[in-house]
């Protein structure tokens, strides 16, 4: 299939143009054009995959277990499409939100670097190739998080960089061990060999433990989440919106991928671990969020809690559980990014995100207030927004697979999320401005047309995903059925 490498080649073409073109205006226009193109390609791939189940492409015409495989099944096509949606919104938002100096110094080059890494990770059918795309993505994010070199930014960047390097180290060490034992790196080939030798778990545990720890650090799961709230509130708001939407989700995507290909052979060992990782991230993320008084820090802690939902969906390991996890992942990407975008607007108006000194933002601009309402209450899980469908599916899947206790916890965590979101709503948008600085309230609003456009795109997607949940859930169920049918994946790649 000729179009399959396009999501990787397209950002690469943009990077070349960004290096050759000098004017910042041309760079901004090109970045929007390329992100639209990326969405179109992701849409075509999604459409094609829905017709034929899976498509693959062999790099350099080398056959499957030897060459690098790019493969898109329904799950990866869905993730590609959602990340393209997030990316287009963030790009339009950034054109106005990011300062001139950063755009002139090739800000967009690095966001497209992240896009290239993210798209590559979703398409990779080779575990070392997956690692390489992780590195591409991390390289872009390392630069973006420290880009501009403000003092607070560098403090966050060091924590982010060290923890992520450690996780990459675990991941690549696991790959080394696995390659030494199996002599192959192609995921389908490995899965097939596991199916034959799966009765000797001690042979593979070291590599699998390293993988799970590496992905848990990347995805900010319970014992390894400390880097995320320590760093996500430091860079410019558009950058944290992009990170919140894309980066942790790639870690979770990889966890789901290796669980459905390898780990399920040893599920008597892994299933309780994954389940408890999910429950603890969910509960601890939401409880720590309530004690925060920084807008972006509250949202950062909520990322951890939301990732927990996806992981418990994976741990149920039924079609409905996995479908719920996939749906929730997509919902969370758009809702979280939009919440961060609203935080970016507040920061632009008031130059601070400390909730104690903010207030009356609803009077300043009603539309932004509504946009925050949509994303926040989608995260909390109110109908008719996408979060309601996501949480409903997770809880339903939990009850169906006899995890009633877990389903109850998920329900209570939803209540706590609602509490946090209401707190932000009251503190930032509703209460009287505590600084009582009349001059500040009367200053003319800064231009925010493009920022608004980016945010509205996501808000409409949230509503659409909530209203037309039924066909999306149907798609996710097919994706989940494909994920559970490992033999189909193996046969398709190795043929």
Partner 1 sequence: MRNIILEKIVSLFLKVMLIFAIYLLLRGHNNPGGGFIAAIIASTGFVFYAIIYGTKKVEKMLHLSTHQWMGIGLLLVLISTLLPLFFSKEIQTGLWIPSDFPVLGLLSLGTPLLFDTGVFVTVSGVILTIILSIMEVLEWN
- Minimum CB distance to partner 1 smaller for 2 or for 52: 2
Comparing CB distances to partner 1, the nearer of 69 and 292 is 69
Q: How far is the CB of 5 from partner 1 (least distance, A)?
A: 5
SS3 70: strand
d(CA 268, CA 485): 19
Smaller CB separation from partner 1, 62 or 169: 62
DSSP character string of 179-225: HHHHS--BHHHHHHHHHHHTT-GGGTHHHHHHHHHHHHHHTT-GGG-
Q: Kindly state the smallest distance separating residue 125's Cβ from partner 1, in Å.
A: 14
Q: Which helix (H) or strand (E) holds 56?
A: strand 55-58
Residue 58 host element (H or E): strand 55-58
Q: Taking the complex as a whole, how short is the minimal distance between the CB of residue 130 and partner 1, in angstroms?
A: 18
Q: Which lies closer to partner 1 via its Cβ, residue 61 or residue 442?
A: 61
Least Å distance between CB 365 and partner 1? 39
Nearer to partner 1, 18 or 130 (CB): 18
Smallest separation (angstroms) from partner 1 to the CB of 124: 15
When the beta carbons of 115 and 298 are compared against partner 1, the nearer one is 115
Closest approach of Cβ 67 to partner 1, in Å? 9
Which residue number, 31 or 57, has a Cβ lying nearer to partner 1? 57
Distance CA 320, CA 478 (A): 10
Residues within the interface to partner 1 (CB under 8 A): 2, 5, 9, 12-13, 15-20, 57-61
* Residue 384: cis peptide before it, omega within 30 degrees of 0: yes
The least distance separating partner 1 from the CB of residue 45, rounded to whole angstroms, comes to 15
234: buried, middle or exposed (CB in 10 Å: 19+, 13-18, 0-12)? Answer: buried
**Token pair of 56, please?**
């693959």
Beta strands in 64-106 (DSSP E): 69-72
Give the 3-state secondary structure of residue 69: strand
Quote the Cα angle for 160-163-165, to 5°. 100
Nearest partner of 305 among 292, 318, 320, judged by Cα? 292
């Amino acid at each position: 299939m000729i179009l399959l490498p396009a999501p990787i080649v397209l950002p690469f073409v943009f990077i070349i143009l960004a290096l050759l073109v000098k004017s910042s205006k041309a760079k901004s226009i090109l970045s929007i054009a390329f992100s639209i193109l990326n969405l179109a390609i992701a849409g075509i791939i999604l459409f094609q995959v829905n017709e034929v189940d899976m498509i693959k492409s062999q790099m350099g015409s080398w056959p499957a277990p030897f060459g690098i495989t790019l493969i898109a099944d329904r799950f990866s096509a869905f993730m590609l499409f959602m990340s393209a949606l997030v990316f287009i919104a963030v790009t339009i938002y950034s054109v106005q939100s990011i300062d001139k100096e950063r755009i002139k110094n090739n800000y967009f080059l690095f966001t497209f670097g992240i896009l290239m890494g993210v798209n590559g990770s979703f398409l990779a059918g080779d575990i070392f190739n997956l690692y390489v795309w992780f590195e591409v993505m991390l390289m872009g994010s390392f630069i973006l998080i420290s880009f501009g070199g403000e003092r607070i930014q560098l403090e966050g960047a060091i924590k982010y960089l060290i923890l992520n390097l450690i996780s990459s180290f675990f991941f690549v060490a696991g790959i080394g061990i696995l390659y030494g034992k199996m002599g192959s790196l192609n995921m389908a080939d490995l899965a097939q060999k596991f199916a034959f030798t799966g009765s000797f778990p001690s042979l593979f545990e070291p590599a699998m433990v390293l993988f799970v720890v590496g992905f848990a650090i990347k995805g900010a799961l319970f014992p390894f989440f400390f880097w995320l709230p320590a760093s996500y509130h430091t860079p410019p708001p558009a950058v944290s919106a992009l990170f919140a939407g894309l980066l942790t989700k790639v870690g979770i995507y990889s966890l789901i991928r290796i669980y459905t290909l390898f780990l399920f052979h040893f599920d008597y060992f892994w299933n309780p671990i994954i389940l408890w990782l999910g429950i603890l991230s969910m509960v601890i993320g939401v409880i720590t969020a309530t004690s925060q008084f920084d807008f972006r820090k509250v949202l950062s802690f909520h990322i951890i809690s939301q990732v927990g939902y996806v992981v418990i969906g994976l741990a149920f390991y039924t079609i409905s559980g996995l479908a719920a996890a996939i749906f929730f992942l997509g919902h969370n990407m758009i809702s979280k990014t939009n919440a961060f975008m609203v935080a970016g607007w507040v920061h632009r108006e008031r130059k601070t995100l400390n909730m104690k000194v903010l207030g009356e933002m609803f009077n300043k601009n009603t539309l932004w207030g509504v946009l925050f309402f949509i994303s926040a209450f989608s995260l909390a899980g109110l109908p008719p927004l996408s979060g309601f469908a996501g949480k409903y599916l997770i809880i339903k899947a939990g009850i169906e697979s006899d995890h009633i206790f877990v389903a109850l916890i998920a329900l209570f965590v939803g209540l706590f999320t609602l509490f946090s979101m209401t707190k932000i709503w009251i503190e930032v948008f509703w209460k009287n401005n505590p600084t009582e600085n009349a001059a500040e309230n009367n200053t003319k609003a800064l231009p925010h047309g493009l920022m608004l456009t980016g945010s509205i795109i996501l808000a409409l997607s949230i509503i659409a995903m909530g209203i037309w949940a039924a066909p999306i859930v149907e798609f996710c169920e097919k994706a989940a059925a494909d994920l559970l049918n490992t033999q189909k994946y193996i046969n398709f790649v190795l043929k």
